Amino acid sequence: MVKIGLLGCGTIGSGVVELLERDSCRKNDLSIEKILVRNKDKHYNKPYGCKLTDSFNDIISSDVDIVVEVMGGIDPAYFYVKQSLLKGRHVVTANKDLIAKFGSELQNIARQNGVRLLFEASVGGGIPIIKPLKECLAANNITEIRGIVNGTTNYILSRMDSSGLDFETALKEAQQCGYAEANPEADILGLDAARKLAILSSIAFRISVNYEDIPVQGINNISADDISLARYLGCSVKLLALSRKTDHGIMARVAPVLLKNTDSLARVSDVYNAIVVKGDAVGDVLFFGRGAGKLPTASAVVGDIFDIVRHNMSSQGVEDCKLEDPAPVKLDTAGCKSDFLIRVKVNDRIEAMNIIAGLFSRFELIFPERAKLGRLIDQDQVIFVAHDIYETDIDKRIDLLGTADCIDNVLSILRVEGEA
């Protein structure tokens, strides 16, 4: 009998309990022995009420074989996971914050103590992505990862597109549906996506990518006008996590972008996630599914538990995904160019166009037909796509644009992936 200690019994934890109570799990002799919760009274009447504890010592001093951490956050999860590994317990976690910050350290502790640390559920919820990167695509030189890895922001942008909602209304709806936290900053500011991108990039490129070094832009400034204009151009606005190998290192960023509707990622809606991995042998491979939620994420957690059991509770001969030891890795943006869709509010259209022509050698003015746009955009706006701009130059050019007397305000700047 394989005994499991569960840390946390919220949305994901209760999903783990539900899946482990199924007959298929019972036949594999898996049993939850203890469940750590903050408030036992909250769960007292549940079928697993007799297994509850509010003391981590009850978990670590028992004879559990695998500790499953689904609490989230860093404190106290980091301490609990570290102590479990030091005590010779295998650990399965869904905690992307923990893995992004301390994954390498915790893996080293696991190896030194002859146990395993698995974290498939930390990225993409129920989508298998971490193990395929390590095993199925092992023959490939991975050159690029691009994906929609945050269900909350994808739901918000999808609702703004499909129903014409403004950002605040779509966010409130996401919170009411349980897709967004009461404090949604980590999601809408792109921080959650950056942590997931750092984990995937570290595995795929076999170097340490610090999520704090990844340039991040959230969706909090995306307006209904941006969404309508994207639709008019045959595009969708998506929060894209992107990393790729360059001649000088790794380029990585998280930002809202315009994707042509023919792009496979542009068609990913609602809370779904999708990740495209480019390998030199296999080409593009798409991983798609529910990126969050009770049972999808619990499915990935239980899958890791089965992986440990299949290897007879041993780390001997098992080569898990290795997160490289922390080392300064300079992310390359200097040599990268992008196209940008830019909207500015002007008081003199002719003079504004002259300023734009002086700042951007290659640009295309956009004159949307109101009948096709679906909403009114103020006549005092100039809209254009600037082509082939170095990432390191765009802020300087936008600053110069904003200081021109003929321009009242720079309303929005959106990267364009592919041809808009």
> 281 and 135, same structural domain?
yes
3-state secondary structure of 49: helix
Instruction: Write the CATH number for 111.
Output: 3.40.50.720
Residues 45 and 88 in one domain: yes
Q: How many domains does the chain have?
A: 3
pLDDT of residue 408: 94
Residues labelled as active-site residues: 196
Provide the residue range defining the domain that includes 276. 130-290
Instruction: Express each pLDDT in 165-218 by its tens digit.
Output: 999 999 999 999 888 889 999 999 999 999 999 999 999 998 888 899 899 999
In this structure, what CATH number is given to the domain that contains residue 345?
3.30.70.260
- Please say if the pLDDT value at position 296 is more than 80: yes
Per-residue pLDDT at 420 exceeds 90: no
Residue 242 to residues 48, 147, 180, Cα–Cα distance (Å): 42, 7, 23
396: its two tokens: 């300087």
Residue 104, φ and ψ in degrees, nearest 5: -65, -45
Same domain? 145 vs 278? yes
Q: Are residues 268 and 411 in the same domain?
A: no
3-state secondary structure 222-269: CCHHHHHHHHHCCEEEEEEEEEEEECCEEEEEEEEEEEECCCHHHHCC
For position 240, which CATH number holds?
3.30.360.10
- Closest by CA to 348, choosing from 395, 270, 405, 409, is 405
Calculate the alpha carbon distances from 200 to 89, 159, 192, 301, 412 in Å.
25, 28, 13, 17, 29
Query: Of 290, 325, 358, which residue is a domain's last?
Result: 290
pLDDT value of residue 293: 82
In terms of Cα–Cα distance, which of 332, 328, 340, 420 is closest to 388? Answer: 340
Report the C-alpha gap between 368 and 366 in whole angstroms: 6
- Tallying the residues shown for the chain, one arrives at 420
Are 81 and 54 part of one and the same domain? yes
The reply to whether 317 falls in a domain is no
Cα distance between residue 373 and residue 229, in whole Å? 7
Same structural domain, 347 and 305: no
Please indicate, yes or no, whether residues 281 and 304 belong to a single structural domain of this protein: no
Question: In the prediction, which pLDDT does 373 show?
Answer: 65
Condensed to tens digits (0 to 9), the pLDDT of residues 316-346 reads 666 677 776 555 556 666 668 889 999 999 9
How many Å is the Cα radius of gyration of the chain? 24
Say if CB 364 and CB 389 are below 8 A apart: no
Tokens of 278: 């480019």
109 & 150 share domain: no
Q: Is 79 exposed, middle or buried (0-12, 13-18, 19+ CB in 10 A)?
A: exposed
| SS3 (DSSP) at 138 | coil
Would residue 321 count as lying in a domain?
no
> 127 with 287: CB under 8 angstroms?
yes
Please, is 376 exposed, middle or buried when counting C-beta atoms within 10 Å of its C-beta (0-12, 13-18, 19+)? exposed
For tokens 């950002």, name the residue.
Answer: 167
pTM, two decimals, is: 0.91
